[in-house]
Amino acid sequence: MYPTSKALTDDDDIKLEITSNFSTDDDDNDYGDDSEPQTSKPQTSKPSYASFNRIVGEQAPPYPLASPALTQDLFELLEQSRCNGQLQKGATQVLKQVRRGVGELVVLAADCDESVIAHLPSVCRDWTVPYVYVASTVALGHACGLKVATTAAVVTASEGSELTDRIKEVTERFMI
């Protein structure tokens, strides 16, 4: 065991504290003594969450994040596409549909674990499929007709679909 430990101060400086568990006095605990040696634990302060955020940085909010009015229109579109059989739910299904070239609009949840959907925006950009974030996984799942939350949904293309114009209309509202 090494006698060093790190401590993070409130000034965001990382300094190294060197502590020793060995006694420097010659008359303390010779080999003939049966008592336990007294060791002191290094005094370190735990970093606070606020100081961690200052060091690492806050995570940027997802972009583009839909406004409440746009979110309502997106949820109505998802319900209509579900009734027409043009809706796929879940990150895996979204990835499959986008790579097959049939995805027209991807809706992602902003409050889910980033590692689940981190790859989807870049895949959507590569395949030129528009994507947008909504605030809640639970609301997205409900709009998709599920009783549980979902992280992603995709509206797929269909020949002669009545939703094609509606998809373009909603997409133009969040595209720059």
pLDDT of residue 25: 53
Task: Please write the tens of the pLDDT for every residue from 29-64.
Answer: 555 555 555 555 555 554 444 444 444 445 666 788
Which residues make beta-bridge pairs with 133? 65, 108
According to DSSP, residue 101 is labeled T
Top-tier CATH class for 68-174: alpha beta
pTM comes to 0.66
Burial class, 77, CB count within 10 angstroms (exposed 0-12 / middle 13-18 / buried 19+) = buried
According to DSSP, residue 97 is labeled H
Separation CA 17–CA 29 (nearest Å): 25
Please state the separation of Cα 17 from the chain's center in Å. Answer: 34
Q: What is the number of alpha carbons within 13 Å of residue 96 lying toward its C-beta?
A: 7
Separation CA 10–CA 38 (nearest Å): 31
Q: Give the domain ranges of the chain.
A: 1-58, 68-174
Q: Provide CB contacts within 8 A for 168, sequence distance 6+.
A: none
Whose tokens are 């401590």? That residue is 7
Q: Provide CB contacts within 8 A for 47, sequence distance 6+.
A: 8
Q: Helix H segments across 9-162?
A: 49-56, 68-83, 91-100, 114-117, 120-126, 137-143
Please state the separation of Cα 144 from the chain's center in Å. Answer: 21
Tokens in use for 103? 């995805």
pLDDT of residue 101: 95
Q: Tell me the one-letter amino acid at 103.
A: G
pLDDT in tens, the chain (176 residues): 444 444 444 444 444 444 445 545 555 555 555 555 555 555 555 444 444 444 444 566 678 899 999 999 999 999 999 999 999 999 999 999 999 999 999 999 999 988 999 999 999 999 999 999 999 999 999 999 999 999 999 999 988 888 999 999 999 988 75
Output the CA angle 55-60-127, nearest 5 degrees: 135
pLDDT of residue 13: 47
